[in-house]
Amino acid sequence: MCGLSGIWGGGYADSNIVGRMVNCLVNRGPDDVGVWTDADAGLALAHRRLSILDLSPAGHQPMVSPCGRYVLVYNGEIYNHADLRADLECEGGSFAWRGHSDTETLLAALRHWGVQRALERLNGMFAFALWDARERTLYLARDRMGEKPLYYGRNGDTFLFGSELKALVVHPAWQGEVNRDALALFLRHNYVPAPWSIYRGIFKLPPAHFVVISEGGKRVGAPQCYWNLAEVAKRGVAAADGDPQALADELDGLLRDAVRRRMVADVPLGAFLSGGYDSTTVVALMQVQSSRPVKTFCIGFYEEAFNEARHAKAVAEHLGTDHTELYVTPEEAMAVIPRLPEIYDEPFSDSSQIPTFLVSQLARRHVTVSLSGDGGDELFCGYNRYVLGYQVWSKLRLLPRPLREMLAAVLNRAPGHALDVLQGKLPQRFRVSNLADRLPKLAEVLAHRDGQSFYRSLVSHAKNPDQLVLGANEPDTILNRPDGLPSLPGLREQMMYLDMLTYLPDDILTKVDRASMAVSLEARVPLLDHRVVEFVWRVPTEYKYRNGQGKWLLRQVLYRYVPKELMERPKMGFGVPIEHWLRGPLRDWAEALLDEKRLREEGYFKAAPIRRMWEEHVSGKRRWHYYLWDMLMFQSWLEVQQKSRGMADRREKSLVSMVAG
């Protein structure tokens, strides 16, 4: 795993500048650093290396092709690189391999097949930049599912790109302006969705796309798709069929191979183990293919509602892994919060970012690579919205819309807090918890026109973020563009498709990448092998959701390795009690960031509605912790950016004074 950065044009293609940019990414690559420049073209590339395969200097980057035409900087792992080497040699290519790194294989593949055809052959997670010196063309590309990040865009006269925004921000000509439209999207989703970033004019390259830059960095083409998830889904559901036993056999074989390929490393390797279906499947398939106990890692919390450690320990004992667990106090978890703006580099507010960092930190004390079970919910119908949400909408849609709108109006006017107080006098079995929250949410559900708007509401935090962000005009996304959806059988399939395209790369995989890379740990995700994704879309939905349960087919595979009775327990999210922390130990910190005078002076948020939410949450009248955590993560990020900008301005003034003197 690595970090990369680059500059083209604007008179800044200097090795010292690009080196300073990439050195901001030292956590992504602590083992080696390299810089390459083309003075005539005005281009500079830089790379930080975390050595995983071929620890020798033969894997050093930027890597120049033997013919001298191509230069590559690359972040990730190509799991089929040995197969690609064999294919290249079979096709008659002349390759004098310098080492056994996948970087060298990738460069040879790009040279031999060209960018599009090479990308179609890759099985891996990656982001890379390829310079074609003869054509004076730069290519940027990203893996199919979006496991590895890549930002790019023009800043004044200069084209910049890098693995994280922090590499771009230290460029001496940086003029970053907060994109208020992207801020509105952030408040809706708790992440800034691709292709936007928090800065105007700087973009995330979408998963499964590449982009071509030419004319000295002045011409930036539209991103081109090389693997279309919409087509994968359409073809898959059209061909969905098969005997469940045969499908389970095929899935077992695919997952075994995906796991096996991700176990190849020249450094110590282990796995995250929560004890849930996804991580347990990955670890079970690792252990059955390993000659020694697999190293597994889990963190525990003393609050039982958030603790998965005892389940993970039971699974580890059954599988015979070398298991390490660490119980974390609330104080230790909250100590991570000041580091979040630096780790995530743009506003990001999935609160499970905290335990994800902690388990990565634990694993890095023992290994350099860790396999993860992410992706199982999106692939195998695991989220509650696919089950309970689908059932709610299936019933509500039978009511005439005028009646639903009338009921919604009544619920919106209901005094929820007063009802909460009154029902406190009833026996416990007759009470409905948090009516003040539930009644407005039920009103929102009743008012929706169709399944797609219902789904958008389910995955939204702020329902009208334009009303919270000054000067914002929330952009359209695929979530509110019906014409952007492929033709799929029903709402459940549409939800899984949309999550796979949005929530998975922009939330789940972003969270794992930043948390693991913050401690120089490479995280690998075998369930997202593109062959598995293509197979799962060919599985009938009735074998994903069956007998009232999601992940049915995945369970059938897992039960071959782990007893069913060890796994049967309610689904538990990987979270922390933010709701209670904001009313308790984090109250002063939050109050300072959400101070009304401060909000008005900064000029990003409308102060009145935010103060109302904060006061209602603190008093216990409403639970606004999801909304508030979004705003607090932006405020915390903004504070760090302002301090960094102040330091940069002082350094620049000092330099001017020295020159003048």
Domain boundaries, the chain: 2-227, 230-374+525-567, 384-496, 578-660
| CA 560 distance to own-chain centroid | 30
Neighbours of 4 (CB within 10 A): 32
Q: CA 391, CA 373: separation in Å to the nearest integer?
A: 27
Mean pLDDT of 114-134: 98
pLDDT in tens, 263-293: 999 999 999 999 999 999 999 999 999 999 9
Tokens 């119908």: give the residue: 381
**Spatial distance between the Cα atoms of 41 and 213, rounded to a whole number of angstroms:** 13
- Report the distance separating Cα 28 and Cα 85, nearest Å: 27
Q: Is 635 left (phi over 0), alpha (psi -120 to 50) or beta?
A: alpha
102 is in an annotated binding site: yes
**Strand 224-225, strand 219-220: pairing:** unpaired
What is the rounded average pLDDT of the residues 223-244?
Answer: 95
Minimum mean pLDDT range among 308-322, 394-408, 483-497 = 394-408
**What are the φ/ψ torsions at residue 70 (nearest 5 degrees)?**
-115, 145
DSSP characters for 571-618? Answer: ---S---HHHHHHTTTHHHHHHHT-HHHHHHHTSB-HHHHHHHHHHHH
More confident position, 546 or 436: 546
Query: What's the pLDDT band for 428 if we cut at 50, 70, 90?
Result: low
* Residue 120: CB atoms within 10 Å: 11
Percent of the chain with pLDDT over 70: 91
Q: What is the pLDDT of residue 395?
A: 80
Phi and psi dihedrals of 125, rounded to 5? -115, 135
- The pLDDT value given to residue 423: 58
**So what's the pLDDT on residue 607?**
97
Query: Average pLDDT, stretch 286-301?
Result: 96
Mean pLDDT, residues 285-314 taken together: 90
Please state, in angstroms and rounded to a whole number, the distance separating the CA atoms of residues 539 and 237: 7
* Alpha-helical runs (H) found in 425-549: 435-446, 451-458, 491-501, 503, 510-517, 530-537
pLDDT at 420: 56
The reply to whether 299 sits in an annotated binding site is: yes
Name the nearest CA neighbour of 571 among 274, 361, 332: 274
Whether the CB-CB separation of 163 and 5 falls below 8 Å is answered with yes
Q: Does the structure show a pLDDT above 60 at 162?
A: yes
- Greater pLDDT, 11 or 633: 633
Angle (CA) 499 536 114, round 5°? 85
Residue 288 CB partners (closer than 8 Å, separation 6+): 256, 561
The pLDDT assigned to 381 comes to 95
Is there a contact between 523 and 279 (Cβ–Cβ < 8 Å)?
no
- Other beta carbons less than 10 A from residue 438's beta carbon: 15
How long is the chain? Answer: 661
- Could you tell me what percent of the chain has a pLDDT over 90? 75
The band of 657, judged by pLDDT with boundaries at 50, 70 and 90, is: very low
- What local confidence, expressed as pLDDT, does residue 398 receive? 78
How many CB atoms within 10 Å of residue 70?
Answer: 19
Q: Quote the Cα angle for 323-326-330, to 5°.
A: 155
CATH fold of the domain at 2-227: Glutamine Phosphoribosylpyrophosphate, subunit 1, domain 1 (3.60.20)
Q: What CATH architecture does domain 230-374+525-567 belong to?
A: 3-Layer(aba) Sandwich (3.40)
HSE value, Cβ hemisphere, 13 Å, CA-based, for 200: 9
Instruction: Say how far apart CA 146 and CA 126 lie, in whole Å.
Output: 8
77: β partners: 125
Distance (Å, rounded) from C-alpha 301 to C-alpha 567? 20
What φ, ψ does residue 530 adopt, rounded to 5°?
A: -65, -25
Query: CA separation (Å) from 418 to 103, 415, 440, 624?
Result: 63, 5, 14, 18
- When pLDDT is cut at 50, 70 and 90, the band that residue 427 belongs to is low
Provide the pLDDT for residue 393: 82
**Confidence band, pLDDT 50/70/90 cuts, at residue 141:** very high
pTM over 0.85: yes
Residue range 508-519: average pLDDT? 98
Lowest mean pLDDT among 412-421, 427-436, 617-626, 650-659: 650-659
| 11 labeled part of a ligand binding site | no
Cα dist from 513 to 61, 378, 409, 574, 641, whole Å: 21, 18, 43, 16, 21
Interacting residues of 225 by C-beta distance below 8 A, sequence separation 6+: 206, 208, 209
Phi-psi label, residue 548: left if phi above 0, alpha if psi -120 to 50, beta otherwise:
left
Per-residue pLDDT averaged across 553-572, rounded? 89
Give helix 607-619 / helix 625-660 axis angle, nearest 10°: 130
The reply, when asked if residue 343 is annotated as ligand binding, is no
Confidence of residue 644 (pLDDT cuts 50, 70, 90): confident
Residues 101-113 have a mean pLDDT of 95
Who has greater pLDDT, 660 or 51?
Answer: 51
For the residues 437-455, what does the mean pLDDT come to?
75
* Angstrom distance (rounded) from CA 369 to CA 146: 18
Instruction: Report strand pairing: 202-204 vs 322-328.
Output: unpaired
CA distance 411 to 415: 9
CA gap 109, 119 in Å, rounded? 9
The residue written with tokens 């335990």 in the block is 355
What mean pLDDT is reported for the chain?
Answer: 90
Distances 18 to 29, 34, 344, 523 between C-alpha atoms, Å: 15, 10, 21, 26
Strands 269-272, 219-220: pairing is unpaired
Residue 504 to residue 629: CA distance in whole angstroms: 20
Beta partners for residue 579, in sequence order: none
What is the set of active-site residues?
2
Q: From the CB of residue 403, how many other CB atoms can be counted at a distance below 10 Å?
A: 10
The CA R_g of the chain, rounded to the nearest whole Å, is 25
